[in-house]
């Protein structure tokens, strides 16, 4: 169902429905009851937080001595791959999770990342911790 059709079904102006959907306007309690009825749900269900993000497993990644960590943003701009391993035996992986799995199996995790000057080099893990968002 389109936003326009849903707004008509609820008796709301399309602009009001759009503002609610984009988070630019807070729905009144009366509006929440109308929305719930139109969706055939209880009003409290519209107010319940989505805990799927909270229940997502924590991702443990290696951190270097300077506090930088291995993260999805380290993909190569050329081919999207991740460089991991010793300089002499570096491997490239097409996905972050594949590269992370390889790092987990190394005695000391090592990966490529840019330093503060933007030059790419290899760093070694000194600890593993949660990936900060």
**What pLDDT sits at residue 130?**
92
**What pLDDT sits at residue 64?**
95
Give pLDDT tens digits along the chain (133 positions): 788 888 899 999 988 888 888 777 888 889 889 998 999 888 888 877 655 555 556 889 999 999 999 999 999 888 889 999 998 889 999 999 999 999 999 999 999 998 888 889 999 999 999 988 6
Q: How big is the chain by its Cα radius of gyration, in Å?
A: 24
- The C-alpha atoms of residue 95 and residue 77 are separated, in whole angstroms, by 13
Tally the residues of the chain. Answer: 133
**What pLDDT sits at residue 25?**
80
Residue spans per domain, the chain: 3-47, 60-130
- The C-alpha atoms of residue 95 and residue 109 are separated, in whole angstroms, by 16
* Residue the block writes with tokens 């309690």: 29
**What pLDDT sits at residue 63?**
96
Q: What is the DSSP string of 70-117?
A: --GGGS-TTTS-EEES-GGG-EEESSHHHHHHHHHTSSS-EEEEE-TT
CA atoms within 13 A on the CB side of 34: 13
**What pLDDT sits at residue 104?**
95
pTM: 0.57
Tokens of 97: 């999770």
**What pLDDT sits at residue 72?**
92
**What pLDDT sits at residue 103?**
96
CATH of domain 3-47: 1.10.260.40
């Amino acid at each position: 169902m389109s936003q326009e059709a849903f707004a008509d079904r609820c008796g709301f102006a399309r602009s009001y429905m759009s503002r609610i959907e984009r988070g630019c306007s807070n729905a009144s309690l009366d509006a929440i009851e109308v929305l719930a009825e139109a969706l055939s749900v209880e009003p409290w269900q519209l107010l319940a937080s989505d805990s799927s993000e909270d229940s997502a497993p924590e991702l443990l990644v290696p951190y270097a001595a300077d506090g930088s960590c291995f993260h999805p943003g380290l993909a190569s701009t050329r081919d999207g791959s991740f460089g991991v391993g010793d300089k002499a035996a570096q491997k490239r992986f097409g996905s972050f999770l594949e590269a992370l799995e390889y790092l987990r199996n190394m005695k000391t995790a090592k990966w490529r990342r840019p330093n503060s000057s933007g030059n790419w080099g290899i760093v070694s893990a000194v600890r593993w911790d949660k990936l900060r968002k």
